[in-house]
Amino acid sequence: DQQVKQNSPSLSVQEGRISILNCDYTNSMFDYFLWYKKYPAEGPTFLISISSIKDKNEDGRFTVFLNKSAKHLSLHIVPSQPGDSAVYFCAASAQYSGAGSYQLTFGKGTKLSVIP
Amino acid sequence: ETGVTQTPRHLVMGMTNKKSLKCEQHLGHNAMYWYKQSAKKPLELMFVYNFKEQTENNSVPSRFSPECPNSSHLFLHLHTLQPEDSALYLCASSQDSGRIETQYFGPGTRLLVL
């Protein structure tokens, strides 16, 4: 059962417009959320994160919104640029009781294509 | 060299071979992780090491054997793998797995088992 879901496998956006990537989660124990970007033949690169005590975090063109009641987060990219074309992964972190490690649970990713 | 590096980047092996994947982090972190990414699936956590001690093994088959000789190096020893083990294997590191922190990933090793 997938605890982190990215229901849109792909998204196309015109350059200069806003890109909105969505992520839903089911585990209420998740308390820290991250977005990673991945180019082909490279590992995921950390983009932005948000703690469960906040509902918004902004870093330049990237803003993450968290709606805890809906168990939903979204990544907004404004304005979108062709270099933003990549696969975006949503991840959520919780501390599992076993040995106390925080573990990341990932979604399947959304492929963003920004059209010039 | 900066960040997290992995070697080899690509590996083809037969089911009877023994090979090892290597990961090195230059970030001064104390926690290291192995993930597996299969086609059309999310990244799956395999192992966690914190201060050289294995803290998590997420029900990984024994044909995968991790080794962490120090906080900067992590290995994944492979033997008698199956074709379904073909995947992208990613290494990551963070300051301390016992805290909420960002993990930084290497470029991955693309493994094909014939």
3-state secondary structure chain B: CCCEEEECCEEEECCCCEEEEEEEECCCCCEEEEEEECCCCCCEEEEEEECCEEEEECCCCCCEEEEEEECCEEEEEEECCCHHHCEEEEEEEECCCCCCCCCEECCCEEEEEC
More confident residue, B96 or A71: A71
CA–CA separation, B75 and B59 (whole Å): 18
Contacts of B45 in chain A (CB under 8 A): 103-105
Q: Copy the structure tokens of residue B49.
A: 């090491």
Q: Based on the number of CB atoms within 10 Å of its own CB, is A52 exposed (0-12), middle (13-18) or buried (19 or more)?
A: middle
Mean pLDDT of chain B: 92
Contacts of A37 in chain B (CB under 8 A): none
A100/B41 Cβ within 8 A: no
CA–CA separation, B83 and A109 (whole Å): 24
Q: Kindly indicate the confidence band of residue A96, based on its pLDDT and cuts at 50, 70 and 90.
A: low
10-49 in B: which are within 8 Å (CB) of A? 31, 40-43, 45, 48
A44/B43 Cβ within 8 A: yes
Instruction: Reply yes or no on whether the pLDDT at B15 is more than 60.
Output: yes
CA–CA separation, B53 and A2 (whole Å): 28
Query: Would you state the pLDDT for residue B102?
Result: 86
Mean pLDDT of chain A: 92
